[in-house]
Every structure is written in structure tokens, then in C-alpha cells.
Structure 1
Amino acid sequence: MEIFLMLLAIVLGFSIVVISVPPILRVARQKQLFDSVDERKIHTSSVPPLGGVAIFLGFVLSTIVSTDGYSFDSLKYIIASIILMFFIGLKDDMLVISARNKFVVQVFAAALLITLGNLQITSLHGIFGIYGINHISGIIFSLFIILAIVNAFNLIDGIDGLASGLAILASFVFGAWFFIAGHIQFAIMSLALTGSLAGFFIFNVFGQRNKLFMGDTGSLVIGLIVSVLVIKFNEFNLFKTSNYYIANSPAVSFAIVIVPLVDTLRVITIRLLNGKSPFAPDRNHIHYRLLELVPSHFRVSLILISTNTFLIALALFFNHIDFNVSLQFFAVFVLAILFSFIPSWILRYRNKKAAKNKLLANNPL
């Protein structure tokens, strides 16, 4: 029965998205609802940014249907927070709103999850020698985690298939662990997101006339759901209640969302060092750098998803050999940072070599 519900969540989420995309596209074309094209955007044609509407419908409906019969008290607060993210994202996609107003709604949605949904970090599992934390610290840290992940997925959504591909990876890994560890409600929720994103991925990556983007509507909703999975994953691993207990769960969960988090940290740091606002858009994201080396959205997305998969496997291996959680957290973080700068280093070397060759050509001996 549980396996049937897992499959139902995936298939239903996928089917709802696939069925809902064509009418969404028709409305977008009739109302001229397209993503703007400017010098900062990679795409050169008008594409509807309403994929998040389909993802929202697929996830919410498949989760509600597939968890029917299970006690899932926090689900109503999770969905309420998702609805807040959905509407603020949709408004931003249609009208464009200030970063401040969007951030205020994010804080409100996160606070709703933490206070009423009882979604809160209560322990750091020994990272830097810290275990249990008090209630206020837990609220602040939980708020930070939610906002960081939400905005990381919002910022990583720059090329076809990247944000959805990374979220598919994260939701599937979390869903698999929730299932084998016996947390069926959250396994269903995770796999409902996997199925919904898989349906969107097809249109986003392989669509021609039926192509669409997820927009802020999608990235904000996805980030919120993944943040819920991260916090529950860590809380469920506080005590060894099953054979699938993961002692170093903070490091493992960090590895699962490492690519969007490190990319966000990297670009914000570069902006601040250049005296710019951390919210100022630019082309310093790792996927933009990789596109200069590998001119294919799909291949760049596969490279970053594969890198994320490798870091997850490495974190799980460290956990298996009982590697110190602080050292593991640090090792995964450093490896991710080093990788994020590799494309820029290659480009800098290539540009220097090209400049040298040009100089030699203009000044032959």
C-alpha cells in the first residue's frame, strides 16, 4: 500500500502538470504573458514564465490525494505557506515587485511554518560541538535556513532544467530516505514534488512551441518545499529510531542542496566585494560561466546536477565511515566552493592565452 502511494504521488504530480501546461500556455499567449527579453537574459524569444502554476497544482493536489488517510497535521500549514509563496511569485512574474516586498512575504511564510507548523531546528547534531539549541535560537536558525534555501533556488533558476533538475534530485533523495525510514507522509510529499517537477522539466528543456519557464512562482514554491524537507530530515535523525539513521544529517542535507546554496553565497560575495547590492542581478552565476565553456543549457544542467549527486554520495560515504560531522560539513563546503570557481579560472586562463596569442600575432618577431 505504501509503495502504491509513492507511485501515485509521482504519477499524479507528473500527470497534473502535463495536463495543465497546454491550457496555461494558451492563456499566456492570449494575454501576452511572456518573460521579458533583455541584455541580462539568456533566452532570445518570448517564453511564458507560468510553469510554477503547473508545479503548484501538481504538487498540492497529488500530495493531498496521496496522503489521504494519514495523520499529517503540519500539511495544512505547509500548503498555506506555499500558497503565500505562490501568489507573491505570480505577482512578481506578472507585474514585478520590489525585492523588499518579496522578502517580507518570505519571512511571513517561514514564520507561519515555524510557529504553527512546528517546523523548527532543535539541534545542530554536534557541528562545532553544538547539540541542542534553545527555542529562540531554533526559531532564528530555522528562519535563516528557510530563507536561504528559498532564495538559493530563486537565484539558481537561470537556465533550462537547472533549478527543476536540482530540485528533482533533492526531493527524490529525501523521498527515498523518508520512505525507507518509515516517514510516509513526508515521503509522499517529496515524491509528489519529484513527479510534478519531472512533468515541468520535459516542457522546459525539450519544449519548442510549448516551452515555458517556472518563473518566481515556481522557484519560490520549490525552495520552500525543499527547506521543509531539509528541516524534517534533520529532526527525524535526532535519535536512532531505525537502521537508516544518519548521524551526520546536517552535512548530508547540506550536500543535497549544496549547488544552489554555494552559488548564491558566491555571487552575493562577489557583488558585495564590487560594492554592489547583494540583490543586484549579474552574470556571475556558475551556470553562466559554464555556458561560456559548454554552450548548451541541458549539458550545463547535467554537469551541475551530476556534481551535486557526487557531493551527496561523498557525504553519505563520510557518514557511513563515521567521519566527524564538523569536518564532513567543512569538506563538502570547501569542495563545492572550489568547483564553483573552476569555470571562472578556466575562462580567465583561456582569455589570457587568447590575449597573448593576439599580442604575438600583432608583434611577430
Structure 2
Amino acid sequence: MYSILTHPVVFDIYSVPFYLMLVFAFSVALIVSWATIPPIVALSNAKKLFEEPNERSAHKIATPTLGGLAIFAGFKFSYLVFSGNEPLPERPFIAAGCLVIFLMGMKDDIFVLAPIKKFLAQIFATLLVVILGNLFISDFQGLFGIHEIPYWFSVLFSFFVVIAIINAFNLSDGIDGLAGSLGNIAAITLGSWFALVGDYVYAIMCFSLAGAIIGFLRYNLSNGKNKIFMGDTGSLLIGFVIAVATIRFIELNRLLSNEHHIYSAPGVAIGILFIPIYDTIRVMTARILRKQSPFKADRGHLHHKLLDLGYSHPQATLIISVASIIFIVLAFILQHLGSLKIILILTVIATIWYLIPVTKWARRISGKVTGRSEVHDAK
């Protein structure tokens, strides 16, 4: 890991100030993503590459699912152009891991892969970064009273973290704009912190991802002729990049001692990703309690409950996105309390917040069953 402790915030790469490079990286990624979607939609229409609605779907018409191709194109192009030549050992392995995730996602979106093949591809991509790239969580920084951990456990735990985050974002891709918005919020949060501490490559990586996502959201949130879904290609790629950036965030805080050091970095990192992590754990736990497979698809996610209450896709996405921002702000405010207390406080708040729409949803369903009408007061 190269040292950023003596890195200036303004870089001389291409003789352009660092923060201006971030704007360029974000903008170029956005433009590339935005510009590539119409031809992708045209190709999807010609080849009939659609996602047909089913009983769990939140959409009613067949919609192209190759939006992840545009996200990958915008992200990869901008990242390669603007990340310069910083001596970062894990860079080629991050690039290779992104390519593995992209190829696997594309194949799944077009042909549909068996879950085990998707899982093996995720393991391989994670192996590239954690083992060959030597990027892993080596210190819990006081979480559960634990600090430095053995290498073998660092590797195993980091494998779990990356794959868990990948799939948390994949599972959040249930309504228009949600996975993209949550990924965008996390990318901008992490990217801004990397910019503050002068971690050039990771800041560019995060802002390139954010720009590519916004270019995609322009079409995903519309109902025009070019409406498109990101598919597994997009959600898995977003999860992978955010997972890598999260590990870097935790590890870098272990080294920093200046004003930008984040106390309880593991707890704050969980706060940044709290909504997708919490919803995934909650849904899987509920399935296990019902004696079902934790991987069995259903309509138990928070966004499904909001839709059932009558909210539109943009409204549900906005509600969950605002909640995510609130949890992130709380995590940073509470950083001096320690990681465990941060996690517990956020969990209590999230559980109470989740129970509000669930209670309203239950009353709504009960009213329909008993034949009573109920005023919709959710808005």
C-alpha cells in the first residue's frame, strides 16, 4: 500500500488540479454512460433481450436489462483515463475483478446463469483483489474489543465482506433507481473522503462510478422509449466497486492520524452501506425463520412494502435514499461512540423506521380482506 500521508491534495497529473480532475472524471463517465444507452436499447429491442414481468416484478412491461453495460463503459473509460499512473499495487487486480464481474453479469443478463456459477465468479473476482491485490481488512479497530487480526482471518473475513456487499446491492435492485441511487450515495461519500485525504486513485474510481450511475439513472427513472434496467451487470459491478472502496476506507483510517481520520471506521463504513446491508440481513433472517431458503426470492424487501402502500418507484427510491443519507450522517456524527454502539443505534432506528411502513401495509391488507376501506395516509 503506497503512503498517502505525504501526498498533496492537488496533483500535477496532466497539469490539472486534483479536484478539477474529479469533476472531469465524473462528467466523462456520466456522458459515456448516458450516450451509450440509446444504442444499447436499440440492440436489445432488435435481439429481444428483455426482462419479462413476473409475479415478483415491480414493472408491467418487458424492459431491456443491459444498462449495466453503459455503467461499465462509463466507469471503466473514465477511471482508466483519469486515474493517472499512481503506484498502487492492487490497481490491475481491481480492474481484472471488475472485468470478471462485468462478463459474468452480462452472460447472466443475456442467457441466465446458475446461481452457483455467479457465486464462483464473485469468489474469483474477490480472490483477485484480496489475495493477489493484497487488499483486505487487517484490523477491527476496536470492534468487539478486537484490533489486529491474523492474516488468514483477514482474508476470510474480507472475502465475506466483498461478497456480502456485492449481493446486498444486487438484492436492492428491485425498483427503478434504487440500487443506482444507493450506490451513488455510497460512491460520492467514499469518494469525497478519499479526495480529502489525497487518495487520488480511489477518489477517481468512486467519482467515475457515480457519474456512470447518474448517466444510467437518466433513462432508468424515465418512462420513455429508452427506459432500461441495469441488470445483474450493473448491480453486481456497483457492489464490487463499493466493496473494494469500503475496505480501502477502513484500512486507510488505520494509518491516518490527521484531522481527516475517522474514528470507528468499521462502524462508519457499515453506516455508509447500512440500508442495503440491513434490508438484506432482515429479509434473509425472515426467510430462515419461515424455514425457507435465505436465497428464495420474495417480495419482502422494504421497497416492495412501500410499493404495496401505493408509493411510486421514484417516491419509494427517494424515501429510501433520504434514509440512507440520514444513516450516513448519523454514523459520522456518532463515530466517537465506537463501532459497536454505532451499529446498535442505527439498527434500532432502522427497525423502528421499517416497522412504520410494515404496520401501515398490514393495516391496508387487513382492510382489503375485511372489506373495509382505508384512507391512504402514507404520503
TM-score normalised by the chain length of structure 1: 0.94
Q: Secondary structure at the match of 2:141?
A: strand
Structure 2 CA distance, aligned partners of 1:129 and 1:105? Answer: 34
- Aligned residue runs from structure 1 range 280-291, under 5 A: 280-291=296-307
Q: Secondary structure at the match of 1:237?
A: helix
- Aligned residue runs from structure 1 range 75-86, under 5 A: 75-86=91-102
Aligned pair partner of 2:69 in 45, 53, 64:
53
- Aligned residue runs from structure 1 range 144-293, under 5 A: 144-293=160-309
Structure 2 CA distance, aligned partners of 1:204 and 1:324? Answer: 38
Q: Secondary structure at the match of 1:210?
A: coil
Aligned AA for 1:297?
H
Task: Give 2:354's aligned residue.
Answer: 340
Aligned AA for 1:189?
M
Aligned AA for 1:333?
T
Q: Secondary structure at the match of 1:123?
A: coil
- Aligned residue runs from structure 1 range 21-32, under 5 A: 21-32=37-48
Task: Give 2:144's aligned residue.
Answer: 128
Task: Give 1:362's aligned residue.
Answer: none
Is it true that 1:74 corresponds to 2:90 in the alignment?
A: yes
* Displacement after TM superposition at 1:270 (Å): 1.5
* Displacement after TM superposition at 1:348 (Å): 1.5
Percent identical residues: 36
Structure 2 CA distance, aligned partners of 1:341 and 1:234? Answer: 31
- The ranges of structure 1 where at least 4 consecutive aligned residues each deviate by more than 6 angstroms after the TM superposition are none
Structure 1 CA distance, aligned partners of 2:256 and 2:79? Answer: 27
Aligned AA for 1:77?
F
Taking structure 1 as reference, are residues 93 and 318 closer, same or farther at Cα in structure 2, changes over 3 Å only?
same
Contact 2:97 2:125 in 1 (8 A): yes
* Displacement after TM superposition at 1:357 (Å): 6.6
Contact 1:294 1:300 in 2 (8 A): no
Structure 1 CA distance, aligned partners of 2:317 and 2:181? Answer: 7
Contact 1:56 1:86 in 2 (8 A): yes
Aligned AA for 1:114?
V
Structure 2 CA distance, aligned partners of 1:207 and 1:44? Answer: 12
Task: Give 1:20's aligned residue.
Answer: 36
Structure 1 CA distance, aligned partners of 2:368 and 2:82? Answer: 57
Structure 2 CA distance, aligned partners of 1:180 and 1:170? Answer: 16
Task: Give 1:298's aligned residue.
Answer: 314
Structure 2 CA distance, aligned partners of 1:114 and 1:337? Answer: 33
Contact 1:99 1:279 in 2 (8 A): no
Query: Which digits, 9 at most, give the CA deviation of each residue in 1:191-238, with x for residues without a partner?
Result: 000100010011100241010000001111110000001100000100
Taking structure 1 as reference, are residues 278 and 325 closer, same or farther at Cα in structure 2, changes over 3 Å only?
closer
Aligned AA for 1:345?
T
Aligned pair partner of 1:44 in 57, 60, 74:
60
Task: Give 1:324's aligned residue.
Answer: 338
* Displacement after TM superposition at 1:243 (Å): 1.1
- Aligned residue runs from structure 1 range 1-20, under 5 A: 1-20=17-36
Is it true that 1:110 corresponds to 2:146 in the alignment?
A: no
Structure 1 CA distance, aligned partners of 2:257 and 2:312? Answer: 45
Aligned pair partner of 1:34 in 19, 41, 50:
50
Aligned AA for 2:35?
I
Contact 1:150 1:227 in 2 (8 A): yes
Structure 1 CA distance, aligned partners of 2:109 and 2:316? Answer: 25
* Displacement after TM superposition at 1:60 (Å): 0.8
* Displacement after TM superposition at 1:241 (Å): 3.3
TM-score normalised by the chain length of structure 2: 0.91
What number of residue pairs does the alignment pair up?
Answer: 357
Give structure 2 stretches of 5+ with no counterpart: 1-16, 374-379
Query: Which digits, 9 at most, give the CA deviation of each residue in 1:119-171, with x for residues without a partner?
Result: 10001110110111010110011011001100000111000000000000000
Aligned AA for 1:16?
V
Q: Secondary structure at the match of 1:125?
A: coil
Contact 1:262 1:340 in 2 (8 A): no
